[in-house]
Amino acid sequence: MNFIINNKKKNWKIILLSAIFILSFINSKAQVQRNRTATLMGCRFDFSIIAEDSLLAEKYIDKAIDEIVRIENLISDWKPDSQVSKVNLNAGIQPVKVNREVWELTRRAIKISEMTEGAFDISFAAVDKIWKFDGSMKKVPSADQIKESIKKIGYKNIILDTLHSTIFLKIPGMKIGFGSIGKGYAADKAKEKMVRNHVKAGIINASGDISVWGNKNNGEDWKIGIVNPFEPTDIIGAFTLKDVSVTTSGSYEKYVELGGKKYSHIINPRTGYPVKGIKSVSVIGPNAETANGFSTSIMVLGVKAGFRLINQYPNYSCLIITDKGKILKSKYFNTKVEIYDSELKPATSP
């Protein structure tokens, strides 16, 4: 009798374990990944959302897009009816009351400018476009032209009124713009909305400003490719990421070649000259907005000053590829990274 009882217990145990396995299999198969690409804020956005079924995943992507469109309508300086455009139109005239979200984003942008000592500056939108990267430029601008072009740049001339939620640009003709951190902010906000809707995993890629959360359908962390800045069609490696953001800035994305020299489209707002020394920099941290501010600033500052900046903030780290092909990591870099291209070997940070 004891044998029969024990055997029954054993059978029930097998049945229970089998049921758990089947339920786990069903639950894992129930999760689907849907991908979509859209043009928003003047650039490409890629969405990958994991949900219980395809229809639900598509609805979540719709919500993410709606959030980005909402932000675009607030901060896009190329939309004449946006709040930022109204601020720019009233430069040197009067303060403009704005949505508190726009005010706070401006305040944080000024904070990044202070942290980077002007290497990042949202008033760079006022620069006269003397550097052209559309093929029409035939010679390097003169020193006088460059000096004149940056006269209206200066974050210290942006006046914020906390009580009345207003922004005032002191100099007539001055402008602010969120082309540098706006996409990262939009990616962050779309991710926040997905998390609030209990979407367990996904990626939002705003043309290189990326927010990721959760795990892939197979339980693995997300992998983000690293572009070879010398051959942009190649991937030289990958970051393994979970619940973080990564942004990449690069001098290889757009440039002009004059007299045998290449000039990057990333301009130092303090000097008016294109950056040099770094081909690309990827910054990893809690949010894409701040990471983008850092990646742009490090391009401007150069390797040594860039590392001094990022090393002050342990929650953020960066990987730099220099114009000599060296791959350098900042002090607090602890992200898993693979390098596939043997010609670009990691080097020790200076």
- Residue 248 is assigned to a ligand binding site: no
Give dist(CA 182, CA 73) in Å, integer: 12
| CA-wise closest residue to 135 among 261, 258, 266 | 258
Other CB atoms within 10 Å distance of the CB of residue 255? 17
Give 149-191 as a DSSP string. Answer: HTTT--GGGEEEETTTTEEEE-STT-----TTTHHHHHHHHHH
Both structure tokens of 189: 């906000």
Coil vs helix vs strand at 112:
helix
DSSP classification of residue 279: E
Give dist(CA 199, CA 106) in Å, integer: 29
Both structure tokens of 57: 């995943």
Sheet holding 166-169, edge to edge: 96-97, 166-169, 158-161
Give residues with Cβ within 8 angstroms of 55, minimum separation 6.
none
Both structure tokens of 250: 């690069």
Both structure tokens of 142: 């003169």
| CA-wise closest residue to 178 among 83, 306, 247, 242 | 83
- Residue 166 is assigned to a ligand binding site: no
Both structure tokens of 125: 């939108």
Give dist(CA 187, CA 179) in Å, integer: 13
| CA-wise closest residue to 159 among 202, 206, 103, 199 | 103
Give dist(CA 86, CA 79) in Å, integer: 10
Which residues contribute to the annotated binding site for Mg(2+)?
180, 296
Which residues contribute to the annotated binding site?
180, 296
